[in-house]
Amino acid sequence: MKTPKAGRVGAIGLAMALMATLMVPAYGVSQGKKDADIPKAAREQGAKEAPAVLQAAGLPCQVSDARKIGEDKKNKVNYYEVACGAGQMGYVLQAPAAGAPTAFSCIEANTPPAPGQAPSAPCILPGNQNPKALLQPLMKTAGVECLPESARGIGQTKSNTYMEVACQGGAGYILLASVPFDGAKPLQAQNCLLYDESESNIKCTLSDKTARMAVIDKVAAAANNGCAVKDRRFVGIAKDGSTFYEASCNDGKGYIYKTAVGGNLVETYECAKATQILGGCTLTDARQAQSEQAGLYTRLVSNAGGKCEVEKYALFPTRNPREEVVELVCKDGKGAILMSTAGQKSTVVDCGRAPIAGYKCSMGSDNGFASLTSDLKRLQQGTTCEVSNSRVVGKTDKGTTYVEVACADKLKGYMIEYSSTPAINAVNVVGCAFAGNCKLPGNT
């Protein structure tokens, strides 16, 4: 996931600082005013002039209140604050006599240009008194449950407005919105932990990393796998927005937890089975765990009637938490697919027949052609064909599966028919000269 590089953001602080320097107040200093202190003339002039500025900025704001903040007479720039009605964000507007106006949400306008300084042109209209409260429903539309404790504007690029939002409970997010900020347009909430680990010049400052990492304890508790968390690591974020965390436990075990965009636990991986997940575990001795797991898979293969001293393995994703499908690479170079369901005997399939079960070996060098050749020669006595290529053609009405094979000698190949119950087994063979729907090179 890309994050902005240094120098691309930070326009808010600069713009607000310039406003403080250049602005010639028309109605006195605005900062710290109460509603009763806002001159009537400022409101009248704001109500008259601000709607046209909003329209020019392309913002769908139904003005409920407005005031003119002041003007820079030298550079011919006027400044306004507008409130946009219930549930809508307010703005501070910068309107030059020539050129397009610039709009800053009240979150941005209320952000000090530097730590320890006061905001240059904060929102003070009654309808703009708590802009961060408006972020909660917007965060929800971005898939995040967050009750904002604080928020700040970070800056703008040509395409995005960046804000930081700190939530109750310690979580924090960088909110990416449109320019100018428009809550009706798509938003994206990115976990602050992503920015903690990146080289971006954007960093979360409203809460500390330790508080953000505490979410791992909550996820571990939800997993209910007996892990008393010893150490924590943010692993990364997938393309679909899922977040991965690693926890090492006091008992020496370790896990990687997958959470959905909203933060709910989706899946738990033992470190021994997490080698393919964003680099696997680093907080525990994953090598020892992997060695123990390889030994377990070796025994399961043996119990299923196969033979494989497992050297490497990788899990296939499954939708059934009681089911596990693993690709195995054996120490003799052969490969297999092991399918296990809790409470049932495991099934093992070699790489040649694996596509019939819906899987494909990809980790080792075993293409499975040797087992297909063996099946062919058992059914087709006298053939000299050594299988050099294969493809699954499809299932028949009676539930069998046809696999087309090509031969290394370039002579026409065959269609091998396989049954799948009780186990995958070759039951018939037809030459491509008679089958009529062979497509592999050399078979047509």
pLDDT at residue 30 greater than cutoff 70: no
- One DSSP character per residue, 98-144 reads SS--EEEEHHHHTS-SSTTSPPSS---SGGGS-GGGGHHHHHHHTT-
Q: What is the pLDDT of residues 210-264, one digit of tens each?
A: 888 999 999 999 999 999 999 999 998 888 888 999 999 998 889 999 998 778 8
- 20 pLDDT above the threshold of 50: no
Which of 33-42, 84-93, 144-153, 350-359 shows the lowest mean pLDDT across its residues?
33-42
pLDDT of residue 34: 56
Quick one: what percent of the chain has pLDDT higher than 70?
Answer: 91
Q: What is the dihedral of CA 264, 269, 271, 277, to 10 degrees?
A: -80
Burial of 299 (0-12, 13-18, 19+ CB in 10 A): exposed
List pLDDT tens digits, range 351-363.
Answer: 999 999 999 999 8
pLDDT of residue 227: 94
164 pLDDT above the threshold of 90? yes
Q: How many C-beta atoms surround the C-beta of residue 264 within 10 A?
A: 10
Please tell me whether the peptide bond between 422 and the residue prior to it is cis, using omega within 30 degrees of 0: yes
pLDDT exceeds cutoff 50 at 200: yes
Residue 36: CB atoms within 10 Å: 5
Predicted pLDDT of residue 7:
40
Q: What's the pLDDT tens digit per position in 371-396?
A: 999 999 999 999 999 999 999 999 99
CA distances from 179 to 56, 82, 157 (A): 13, 17, 8
What proportion of the chain, given as a percentage, has pLDDT over 90? 61
Is the pLDDT at 113 greater than 70? The verdict is: yes
Provide CB contacts within 8 A for 69, sequence distance 6+. Answer: 23, 25, 26, 27, 30, 42, 79, 80, 81, 92, 121
Sketch the domain layout of the chain as residue ranges: 11-130, 214-284, 288-357, 369-435
Q: Provide mean pLDDT across the span 419-427.
A: 91
Cα–Cα distance, 72 to 60 (Å, whole number): 26
* Predicted pLDDT at 35: 62
What is the rounded average pLDDT of the residues 134-162?
A: 92
Contact assessment for residue 338 and residue 298, using Cβ atoms and an 8 Å cutoff? no
Q: Has residue 23 got a pLDDT over 70?
A: no
At the topology level, CATH places domain 369-435 in Nuclear Transport Factor 2; Chain: A, (3.10.450)
In the predicted model, what is the mean pLDDT of residues 76-87?
A: 93
Q: What is the pLDDT of residues 393-412, one digit of tens each?
A: 999 999 999 999 999 999 99
- 229: nearest Cα among 244, 209, 208, 213: 213
Give me the pLDDT at residue 334, please: 94
Q: In this model, does residue 324 exceed pLDDT 80?
A: yes
Residue with tokens 């926890």: 247
Q: Rounded CA gap, 37 and 34, in Å?
A: 5
User: Nearest to residue 362, comparing CAs of 393, 329, 339, 404?
Assistant: 329
More confident residue, 175 or 263: 175
For 168, phi then psi, to 5°, come to -60, 135
User: Which run of H or of E encompasses 85?
Assistant: none
Considering the chain, what is the average pLDDT of its residues?
87
Q: For residue 275, name the pLDDT band (cuts at 50, 70, 90).
A: confident
The predicted pLDDT at position 10 comes to 44
| Strand ranges in 30-124 using DSSP code E only, listed in sequence order | 65-72, 77-83, 91-96, 102-105
Local confidence band at 422 (pLDDT 50, 70, 90 cut-offs): confident
pLDDT at 41 over 90: yes
Q: What is the pLDDT of residue 247?
A: 95
Query: DSSP state, 418?
Result: E
**Which tokens in the block code for residue 145?**
């449950």
The 3-state DSSP class for residue 178 equals: coil
Higher pLDDT among residues 414 and 294, named by residue: 414
Residue 246 to residue 279: CA distance in whole angstroms: 11
Band the pLDDT of 417: cuts 50, 70, 90. very high
Query: What mean pLDDT do residues 100-111 have?
Result: 95
Nearest alpha-carbon partner for 366 in 379, 347, 349, 383: 349
The answer to which of 7-16, 193-202, 249-258, 286-295 has the lowest mean pLDDT is 7-16
**What is the structure's pLDDT at 344?**
86
Looking up tokens 């904060």 gives: 122
Which two three-digit tokens encode residue 190? 């990115």
How does residue 313 score in pLDDT terms, banded at 50, 70 and 90? confident
Banded model confidence at residue 24, pLDDT cuts 50, 70, 90: very low
Q: What is the pLDDT of residues 117-135, one digit of tens each?
A: 889 889 999 999 999 999 9
Q: How far apart are CA 313 and CA 295, in angstroms?
A: 11
Would the pTM of this model clear 0.75, i.e. be above it? no
